[in-house]
Structure 1
Amino acid sequence: MVRFGLTVVRHGETRYNKDKILQGQGVDEPLSATGFKQADAAGLFLSNVKFTHVFSSDLLRAKQTAATIIGKNKFCKDLEIKYDARLRERKYGVAEGRPLTDLKAMAKAAGEQCPAFTPSGGETLDEVRERAKDFFEFLCQLAVEVEQKEREMHGAASRSSGTSEEQSVFPWTNHCSQPGLSSDNGGTSKILDANILVVSHGAYMRNWIGYFVSDLKCTLPENLTKSQLSSVSPNTGVSHFIIELQSGSRLEPEIRCVCLNQDSHLVDVGAECVAQKVF
């Protein structure tokens, strides 16, 4: 069995986020001062987690967030961040650079509702989901290859015994409603073949999580409401998943959501943490 951790973080705030202006892919804004503070807070929150791989959208707001998070990490300061266009925000076409209210007006004029409405030149929700699916399958293959390489190098016996220095200190047990994770209940204290950090965008992440839930039957925290599931993550919100691939197969992975859009690290930042539901 291949088992890996996946931590997904939304980028920090930009001035366009604050002003409720759509960025999509065509507006490449840097983080605001608040956005950097949020990224710092997320980095401290994740500072004791030993990541094996880091991926980020190649848009500036995500790149800056990923670099800040890794810069705060106790184990991974020198880990290479790999940029991937598949992690970009949903493309909003003619609505990019315009207020969110304009998108809503476009949708109303077309007799549709956000977020299902696709402005001219934009991506459909299905197209975004296909990007997310393609990237997730890439991660699964990556985890399989890492496990195979580890097995070849050290053998099954030495790997199964594990070593204490390979363990990460995960913060979710203190901040999420899930019971404390342990090796007895399939939690994060078991050896992971890979532990992957991904930094991306709000609408993209919501579609990705929707794919996990609707297509892959991801197990969710018991107290998660439908509203929480449909909402976009706050800036630098953290979601964590454990993925198991039976017999190294990428087909029908078992996914458990440990926490979704975690934002306790933002309490002292002083930023508005409630994201707009349409994007």
Structure 2
Amino acid sequence: MQQKTIYLIRHGETDYNRRGVVQGSGVDSDLNDMGRAQALAFFQAYQHVPFRKIYISALKRTYQTVEPFIELGMPYEKLPGLNEISWGVMEGKVPGNIDNEYYRNLIESWAAGKTDLPTDGGESPDDVVNRQKVAFKSILSHTDEETVLVAMHGRAMRILLCWLTNRPLAQMDHFEHSNLCLYKLIYTYDTNEFSIELANDTSHLLTLALA
């Protein structure tokens, strides 16, 4: 059976992550020193993997996360469909009491199945998965790329993993994530099914804790 192995990672830490500022797709932030250290630790742990191609979002924090691999000459492609959800008016803000209430109500509405509800001025989970389907159709069409690396974003990963594993989008918060976590997925072409071999794995970052 023909298969594709997908190493799906979230980008490394940014100062916005550290400060609790909402980024979304409208804030194109850089990795901070910790994020770059995380990127290097991931590279050191997985540089032996024969990635045929790297796929990233259109936001530079994903490019910077996989930059050590790209510097080796590995081909890469930007797919805007992998971008983070647009949080609309919340982007660039540190949630205060009102924003926290808004955010909580939004997450609760999504968990109740109202995944067509968009953020104020932004996207809904349904919007996000529709563009992800286009991006992943492109990724899966390259059957010669047996092993690929995909770098994207936290909320977008949760949405994607629901779709890939045939879960309702309302269950997106089932999928935990942290900066530069790894989900290792196996896609089987014959059955059109994904299986998860590793979930929210951060063992490659243990060297940072010991430093």
TM-score by length of 2: 0.86
Runs of 4+ in structure 1 deviating by more than 6 angstroms, as ranges, are none
Q: Is the 8 A contact 1:52 1:195 kept in 2?
A: yes
Determine whether 1:267 maps to 2:181: no
Report the aligned-residue RMSD.
2.4
Determine whether 1:241 maps to 2:180: no
Structure 2, unaligned stretches of length 5 or more? 111-116
Q: What is the aligned partner in structure 2 of residue 255 from structure 1?
A: 194
Determine whether 1:212 maps to 2:164: yes
Task: Give 1:36-47 correspondences, 5 Å limit.
Answer: 36-47=36-47
Task: Give 1:139-154 correspondences, 5 Å limit.
Answer: 139-143=139-143, 146=144
The alpha carbon displacement at 1:215 in A equals 5.2
Q: Is the 8 A contact 1:59 1:88 kept in 2?
A: yes
Q: Which amino acid aligns with 1:88?
A: N
The alpha carbon displacement at 1:88 in A equals 0.6
The alpha carbon displacement at 1:22 in A equals 0.5
Q: How many pairs does the alignment contain?
A: 201
User: What secondary structure does 1:267 align onto?
Assistant: helix
Q: Is the 8 A contact 1:9 1:236 kept in 2?
A: yes
Is the alpha carbon distance of 1:3 and 1:37 closer, same or farther for their aligned partners in structure 2, counting shifts above 3 Å?
same
Q: Which amino acid aligns with 2:89?
A: V
Determine whether 1:82 maps to 2:34: no
User: What secondary structure does 1:242 align onto?
Assistant: strand
CA–CA distance in structure 2, aligned partners of residues 113 and 79 of structure 1: 38
CA–CA distance in structure 2, aligned partners of residues 88 and 8 of structure 1: 13
Q: What is the aligned partner in structure 1 of residue 88 from structure 2?
A: 93
CA–CA distance in structure 2, aligned partners of residues 59 and 122 of structure 1: 16
The alpha carbon displacement at 1:26 in A equals 1.1
Task: Give 1:1-279 correspondences, 5 Å limit.
Answer: 1-71=1-71, 77-101=72-96, 103-107=99-103, 112-114=106-108, 116=110, 118-143=118-143, 146=144, 194-214=146-166, 230-246=174-190, 252-270=191-209
Is the alpha carbon distance of 1:254 and 1:230 closer, same or farther for their aligned partners in structure 2, counting shifts above 3 Å?
same
CA–CA distance in structure 2, aligned partners of residues 32 and 114 of structure 1: 31
Q: Is the 8 A contact 2:87 2:123 kept in 1?
A: yes
Q: What is the aligned partner in structure 1 of residue 113 from structure 2?
A: none
Q: Which amino acid aligns with 1:208?
A: L
Q: Percent identity?
A: 26
TM-score by length of 1: 0.66
Structure 1, unaligned stretches of length 5 or more? 72-76, 147-192, 217-226, 247-251, 272-279
Is the alpha carbon distance of 1:31 and 1:215 closer, same or farther for their aligned partners in structure 2, counting shifts above 3 Å?
same
The alpha carbon displacement at 1:112 in A equals 4.4
